Amino acid sequence: MADSVVLANLSLLLLCIVATHLSTDPWPLITILLPCLFILAILLNYWLVPGGFAWRNHNQNSTKLRGPSGWPILGTLPSQMSPLAHRKLAAMASWHGATRLMAFSLGTTRAIISSHPETAKEILCGSSFSDRPMKISARLLMFERAIGFAPAGDYWRHLRRSAANYMFSPRRVSGLEALRQRVANEMLEGALKEMEGRGFVELRGIFQRGSLSNILESVFGSGLELEREECLGEMVREGYDLIAKFNWEDHLPLKFLDFQGVKRKCHRLAAKVNSVVGEMVKERKRAGEFSTGNDFLSALLSLPMEDRLSDSDMVAVLWEMIFRGTDNIAVLLEWIMARMVMHQDIQKKVQDELDTCVGNHRQVQDSDIPNLPYLQAIVKEVLRMHPPGPLLSWARLAVHDVHVGKILVPAGTTTMVNMWAITHDASIWKDPWVFRPERFIEEEVSIMGSDLRLAPFGSGRRVCPGRALGLATVHLWLGRLLHEFKWLPIESVDLSECLKLSLEMKTPLSCCMIRRCGIMSL
């Protein structure tokens, strides 16, 4: 690539010389052509470098760095804005022979992406990438003060420790089984009602409502009024739209503008979150009795004085939990059910496993999950083929100059991992496009972050702290759905993807459900 820049510049220089010497009357050639060629030469110099415009001052890498030049100024922003950005980035990396590390430009933002387990490990597990680049919308929506975007210092460590102890500890996750069972009942009742009324079920809304009420109760405790629940649900949905929206200002020096009204809407939403969640914190404090509560808010309020968060930080942390705990689970369950509806043989096989392990006189419980390897394999296979965060949701930031392999990554570079590319790489996974849960029976693969061939929850210091809670919820709900009902297609399932905050099904899944004979159900 560097050679092509030199070549392009030399040819331009030659053209200029020829133009001036060959023309008998150099006017207007010289005055028009020369400045144009001059500007073009500068553009080529700045733009036609590996990785594009944002990498123009990092030529020390030029022999090793690979990546698309992209468009002048914009770089690969147009591809990044696509609902299939993960696929486009994977195709680019493979075209440039840069699966280990590809450089690219997002406007003026310098970025690299790994599509290989080894470099992915270096990035996710290295302490040099322990911060995240801040999106304007994330900052305005207060996530800077919550776990996901707080810089990796004392404050972030304190938040992660508190969340690990009071929100995600194994004791607390298992203590929330009764809640998960109740929500599963509500979801199945809702689905049955819809089936009776419409003759088919659209599962997305049911999973979204279920995940929301599940997380709300674990964060705020029981007894939340319906009106408040609906208001919080509305705020979460608006937040997803805002944060998923591509914002030009994140990558171009246009901070004084608000093209799409994102900043204005974020300010308005943050004020509403502060008022609604802030009021809930104040009410709980006034009530005074929080040492006996089993919810996260009570736990935060019971912390010793020296560890206690300010009210505004508490609002940010509670808001983040609701925000993160709703979408991923609903999206993952919809993909799993799509696969179950499509592959009736696999559905039958897991139902046989459920019948053998659970029998027909009771419902599935958390304690059954370790004895349901095929059910767990299905979840892993869906996480492999349809990871909710194909680009691991939030990028990382190089906090100082660091080498990844032989490539020098300068401080301030936005660093991403394309987990979707890794899980679809034929040199890593046999028949990567085939849905075959059996592969996880044949080989034990951990999905918790130690094996970078399949790390849907990320890895390293910033690995998802909610992964055990998320998996416990998905396993139990899936077990209940499949044990008690048979799920049938009404038309062929459309597996088209749409990358928003998570990788969603473009067309919501519609299917039919019928009770399974002889199984104890609702």
Question: Is the Cβ of residue 50 or residue 325 nearer to ligand HEM in the bound state?
Answer: 325
* Least separation in angstroms between CB 195 and ligand HEM: 26
Report if residue 126 touches ligand HEM, rule: CB under 6 A.
Answer: no
Mark the segment that binds ligand HEM (CB under 6 A) among 241-249, 277-285, 319-327, 400-408.
319-327
Question: Is the Cβ of residue 139 or residue 467 nearer to ligand HEM in the bound state?
Answer: 467
- Residues 6 or more apart whose CB falls under 8 angstroms from that of 192 comprise 513, 522
- Residues 6 or more apart whose CB falls under 8 angstroms from that of 202 comprise 194, 508, 509, 510
Amino acid at position 293, single letter: G
- Residues 6 or more apart whose CB falls under 8 angstroms from that of 153 comprise none
Report if residue 328 touches ligand HEM, rule: CB under 6 A.
Answer: yes
DSSP 454-486: S-TT--GGGS-TTHHHHHHHHHHHHHHHHHHEE
Report the alpha-carbon distance of residue 509 to residue 161 in Å, rounded: 38
Quick one: angle between helices 203-220 and 177-198, nearest 10? Answer: 150
Mark the segment that binds ligand HEM (CB under 6 A) among 16-24, 352-360, 391-399, 425-433.
391-399
Amino acid at position 154, single letter: D
Report if residue 457 touches ligand HEM, rule: CB under 6 A.
Answer: yes
Give the per-residue contact string, 156-175, with ligand HEM (x = CB under 6 A; - = no): ----x---------------
Question: Residue 403 belongs to what H/E stretch?
Answer: strand 402-404
For residue 417, the cross-strand partners are: 114
Q: Which residue is nearest to ligand HEM (CB)?
A: 458
Tokens 């092509």 found at:
4
Report if residue 462 touches ligand HEM, rule: CB under 6 A.
Answer: yes
Report if residue 120 touches ligand HEM, rule: CB under 6 A.
Answer: no
* Least separation in angstroms between CB 124 and ligand HEM: 5
Report if residue 129 touches ligand HEM, rule: CB under 6 A.
Answer: no
Whether 387 and 503 have beta carbons less than 8 Å apart is answered as yes
Report if residue 420 touches ligand HEM, rule: CB under 6 A.
Answer: no
* Helix (DSSP H) and strand (DSSP E) numbers for the chain: 19, 11
Question: Residue 314 belongs to what H/E stretch?
Answer: helix 311-342
Report if residue 464 touches ligand HEM, rule: CB under 6 A.
Answer: yes
Report if residue 390 touches ligand HEM, rule: CB under 6 A.
Answer: no
Report the alpha-carbon distance of residue 208 to residue 210 in Å, rounded: 5
Report if residue 135 touches ligand HEM, rule: CB under 6 A.
Answer: no
Report if residue 436 touches ligand HEM, rule: CB under 6 A.
Answer: no
* Span 191-220, contacts to ligand HEM by CB under 6 A: 215
Report if residue 469 touches ligand HEM, rule: CB under 6 A.
Answer: yes
Report if residue 147 touches ligand HEM, rule: CB under 6 A.
Answer: yes
Report if residue 458 touches ligand HEM, rule: CB under 6 A.
Answer: yes
Report if residue 459 touches ligand HEM, rule: CB under 6 A.
Answer: yes
Backbone angles phi, psi at 208, to 5 degrees: -65, -45
Number of residues that bind ligand HEM (CB under 6 A): 30
Region of residue 142 (left: phi > 0; alpha: psi -120 to 50; beta: else): left
Mark the segment that binds ligand HEM (CB under 6 A) among 267-275, 276-284, 369-377, 384-392.
384-392
Half-sphere exposure of 214 (CA within 13 A, CB side): 34
Region of residue 51 (left: phi > 0; alpha: psi -120 to 50; beta: else): left
Report if residue 393 touches ligand HEM, rule: CB under 6 A.
Answer: yes
Tokens linked to 165: 């102890």
- Residues 6 or more apart whose CB falls under 8 angstroms from that of 25 comprise none
Tokens 């919308």 found at:
137
* Least separation in angstroms between CB 350 and ligand HEM: 19
Report if residue 428 touches ligand HEM, rule: CB under 6 A.
Answer: no
Report if residue 456 touches ligand HEM, rule: CB under 6 A.
Answer: yes
Q: Which of 180, 191, 190, 204 is nearest to 486 (CA)?
A: 191
* Least separation in angstroms between CB 391 and ligand HEM: 9
* Least separation in angstroms between CB 139 and ligand HEM: 14
Report if residue 317 touches ligand HEM, rule: CB under 6 A.
Answer: no
Q: Among 5, 48, 98, 124, which residue interacts with ligand HEM (rule: CB under 6 A)?
A: 124
Report if residue 5 touches ligand HEM, rule: CB under 6 A.
Answer: no
Query: For binding to ligand HEM (CB under 6 A), which residues are involved?
Result: 124, 147-148, 160, 215, 320-321, 324-325, 328-329, 332, 388-389, 392-394, 456-460, 462-467, 469-470
